Chains A and B, each alone.
Chain A
Amino acid sequence: MPETQPETLQRWVERILPTVAKPGRYVGGELNQTIKPWDSVHTHLALVFPDIYDLGQSNLGIALLYDILNQRDDIAAERAFSPWIDMEAAMRAAEIPLFSLESKRALSEFEIIGVSLPYETLYTNFLNILDLAHLPLYSRERTKEHPLVIAGGQAVYNPEPVAPFVDAFVIGEGEDAILEVVDVYQAWQDAGETREKLLVRLGGIPGVYVPSLYDISYHNDGRVNQINPNNPAAKQTVDKRIMAAFPPPLTRFMVPNVEVVHERVSVEIMRGCTRGCRFCHAGMVNRPIRERSVDEILSALRSGLEQTGYEEVSLLSLSSSDHSQIIALIKGLSDLLCERQVNISLPSLRIESFSDELMNELQALSPGGGFTLAPEAGTERLRNVINKPISDDELLATARSIFQHGWKTIKLYFMIGHPQETMEDVAAITELSRKVLQEGRKIAGGRARLHVGVSTFIPKPHTPFQWAAFEDPEIIRQKLNLLHEGFHGAKIKMTWNDPQASLLEAWLSRGDRRIADVIFHAWQNGARFDAWSEHFNSDIWQKAFEQAGLDPDFYSKRERELDETLPWDHINAGVRKSFLKRDYEWSLAGKIRPDCRDQCYSCGILSTFSELRLTAPDGGWKCP
């Protein structure tokens, strides 16, 4: 193994870089990168996004944490991403450990490794990262000499599938919590205590979950029986962490020297959503709604454009048209775009929040490209079941308005495999789409285009559909075939997800702690980049389930009992299980739950965070 001194490591890396694709992914050195002399700081933290640079460098979460951590003089935060297949082979052949882009230090030299896990299909890459860093994969095998491995992100609202590999999770928003993790780490270092003591100390931070402090027992049939803390210091349930006020936008925007997936200034305009779509994980776990002011959004965009020189801006939120100042925001944007000669990529907008005023303002931005709408289901009945109550007439009127305002292309997003979905509901997707295209033809003639994207519904934890079964892949295939036939000759372009890949997500998203062995075996059998359709291999996973002695159908096909202990019951995402249960029952009855901006349905957010809300500026949240 080569010396891991940074200079030596860098020489080795330089020798192999000309042999791999896109070597610029592995060198760092970007504009606005932060690099501090190694010995000038107390704590080194490696921020890891377990996919390639092209994706990780575009991730706003990583950028925000990097910014926040590096504002502290005693911390150096550096980045590391997954090497692509060719680079991994070259690194393994030369025994080069995974290193940070800034200082070219092996990850094992960092005190803390923070891993972002926004979706489940990154889990094998995460294990691969630990292995490439020459670290033991299992938390229990690591010692005081190894870095502390923490993880956060949207996927870890159910932390159990990766619990044995992670020392501590940050559940929820990490802006403050990550600094507290560093503080606790430093205090522990000063005290010179054991690693077990560190984990107990971390478990005391609000929002931090230390899995080794909890024991899980199972029924004979495999269902979770009990989740019990095994240490008096461990909380019975871990409340997610949220920020009372919208945290400040990014202050330093990095500009990559090689092409990445998103090259634009992105600013978060709103967190949370009140619409309550029953399939939507993000809509449930990111409550309450907090808005950024128009002034702050515009000044963040302006500063981002000045720092980067990018040609495009984008607004991030779950539902941008629900921002209470959307019209003022778009007016401000028009001026900015014109002054700077830049474009905007439009976010998806809610069908029910359309107005002529909004359309006129949007038209003034003269964005290129298509307009995206997400009815999600083909019939009004099924849209009530999933709590996205839009009538066919509303959808058609919106489509008409979009075409009238000059757009030529509409993209419609649908999901199949919803609970209670019939073949008629699926067939209705094609009828509805044809009607939308007809509206376009009336206005734009042959230039009107329609794209239909079809994904597969995956039941997610902390949603009203967390008890539902994942549709049999064979039936999904039949439904896809029905759509293909239905679209035949319609000049509508349809794209869809591989049902097998959705199945993987279905296994992992509601998995328990035992499924960690499946992930381990899959990684050992060579699973990598499961989020990339060309790399995902379903056979590897089937074999891994066999090796772990678990039944994959148990995780995907099984409808959960309403009173069973779910593997994530000790994690409180703010929305109570009793609320979710009632909402699930409403869905079975076809009963909708209106937007909760106007009336509170006591989802649990306000009772969990009643004290925090008092500290939010001017009422802050959009809860009534």
Chain B
Amino acid sequence: MNEQDLITRIRVTYTKGESLRFTGHLDIQRLWERLLRRSGLPIRYSQGFHPRARLNLASALPLGFISDAEMLDFWMDKPRPVDEIKQALSSAAPPGLIIQSVEGISMSDKSLQSQMHASEYEITFFDPQSGEKLQEKISELLAADEISRTRRNKSYNLRPLILDLAVIQLESDEWELGMRLLAEPGQTGRPDEVLEEMGYQNTDVLVKRTKLMLS
């Protein structure tokens, strides 16, 4: 058996809770590097002057969003039982980051980013909403063939990126939105852009990612 066979690839699914709501993607990456160092697991580091833990996040989550379903892969130099890994990661995690599951992944699997297909989100409103109004706005949006927008000076059509969009009734007068957006390399729908089309700002809502769908 050569050394390469001992290297293990681990996939973690985790919650990014409210206390990490304003920690952006790059900061989450650094947060994970430090979490891995604290965990005491035999983490695989890059070579060179500034060794960095090797890790791979599935999909960037915009600043201000929370999530129940974030995923990342990291690599270890030696195998460890999954339970032990979960325990080590959990005790090294900062407030707001909850390890949900840990599994071993084949070394030859494609990278997480390239497997991404779609993301699901739940949107709750800070102020009371009318269910009817929400439904109207949704129907209008879904009826369109093209929703033309620009992102970074490039125009694109938002409509095909919306795979699903629905109103969900929680209480008699409490509503939230559910949406599934395409998240493939080069064509990723952003919930804040859908919300903007419906007339909502990021100060009106709390967006939670609930699922990452891999292809």
Q: Which residues of chain A have C-beta atoms less than 8 A from B20's C-beta?
A: 29, 257
Classify chain B's interface size: 20 to 34
Cβ-defined partner of A257 (8 Å) among B31, B37, B50: B31
B116 sits at the interface (CB 8 A): no
Given A257-B31, A259-B30: A24 touches B92 (CB 8 Å cut-off): no
| Residue in A17, A29, A259 with the greatest tally of chain B CB atoms within 10 Å | A29
Which residues 29-45 of B have a CB within 8 angstroms of A? 30-31, 33-38, 45
Q: Which residues of chain A have C-beta atoms less than 8 A from B63's C-beta?
A: 18, 23
Q: Which residues of chain A have C-beta atoms less than 8 A from B37's C-beta?
A: 305, 309-311
Which residues 307-365 of A have a CB within 8 angstroms of B? 307-311, 341, 343
Given A23-B64, A308-B38: A343 touches B21 (CB 8 Å cut-off): no
Q: Which residues of chain A have C-beta atoms less than 8 A from B45's C-beta?
A: 341
The answer for the CA separation of A343 and B34 in the assembled complex, in Å, is 14
Given A29-B95, A29-B96: A16 touches B31 (CB 8 Å cut-off): no
A36 to chain B, nearest CB (A): 15
A588 sits at the interface (CB 8 A): no
The reply to whether A257 and B27 contact each other, CB–CB distance below 8 Å, is yes
Cβ-defined partner of B202 (8 Å) among A18, A343, A368: A18
The answer for the CA separation of A347 and B130 in the assembled complex, in Å, is 61
A161 to chain B, nearest CB (A): 36
The reply to whether B27 and A259 contact each other, CB–CB distance below 8 Å, is yes
Which residues 159-186 of B have a CB within 8 angstroms of A? none
The reply to whether A309 and B22 contact each other, CB–CB distance below 8 Å, is no
A255 sits at the interface (CB 8 A): yes
For A19-40 the 0/1 string (1 means CB < 8 A from B) is: 1000110111111010000000
The reply to whether A343 and B49 contact each other, CB–CB distance below 8 Å, is yes
Q: Which residues of chain A have C-beta atoms less than 8 A from B64's C-beta?
A: 17-18, 23
B154 to chain A, nearest CB (A): 24
The reply to whether B34 and A258 contact each other, CB–CB distance below 8 Å, is no
Residue of A nearest to B28 (CB): A257
The answer for the CA separation of A33 and B94 in the assembled complex, in Å, is 10
Q: Which residues of chain B have C-beta atoms less than 8 A from A257's C-beta?
A: 19-20, 22-23, 27, 31, 94
The answer for the CA separation of A28 and B20 in the assembled complex, in Å, is 9
A366 sits at the interface (CB 8 A): yes
The reply to whether A31 and B95 contact each other, CB–CB distance below 8 Å, is yes
Q: Is the interface of B mostly helix, strand, loop or mixed?
A: loop
The reply to whether A309 and B27 contact each other, CB–CB distance below 8 Å, is no
Given A29-B20, A257-B94, A309-B36: A368 touches B27 (CB 8 Å cut-off): no
Q: Which residues of chain B have C-beta atoms less than 8 A from A308's C-beta?
A: 34, 38
The reply to whether A258 and B33 contact each other, CB–CB distance below 8 Å, is no
A306 sits at the interface (CB 8 A): yes
The reply to whether A341 and B51 contact each other, CB–CB distance below 8 Å, is yes
Cβ-defined partner of B50 (8 Å) among A26, A29, A368: A368
Which residues 52-67 of B have a CB within 8 angstroms of A? 52, 63-64
Q: Which residues of chain A have C-beta atoms less than 8 A from B27's C-beta?
A: 24, 257-259
The answer for the CA separation of A412 and B119 in the assembled complex, in Å, is 53
The reply to whether A309 and B202 contact each other, CB–CB distance below 8 Å, is no
Given A257-B27, A258-B24, A343-B50: A309 touches B34 (CB 8 Å cut-off): yes
Cβ-defined partner of A309 (8 Å) among B33, B49, B50, B96: B33
A15 sits at the interface (CB 8 A): yes
The reply to whether A29 and B49 contact each other, CB–CB distance below 8 Å, is no
Q: Which residues of chain B have C-beta atoms less than 8 A from A258's C-beta?
A: 22-24, 27
| Residue in A28, A31, A309, A311 with the greatest tally of chain B CB atoms within 10 Å | A309
Q: A11-B126, A17-B64 are in contact. List 5 more A-B contacts (CB 8 A).
A: A14-B126, A15-B126, A308-B38, A309-B37, A343-B50
Can you list 6 pairs linking A and B with CB atoms under 8 Å apart? A24-B22, A29-B20, A259-B30, A309-B36, A311-B34, A341-B45
| Interfacial residues, chain A to chain B (CB-CB below 8 A) | 11, 14-19, 23-24, 26-31, 33, 255, 257-259, 263, 305-311, 341, 343, 366, 368
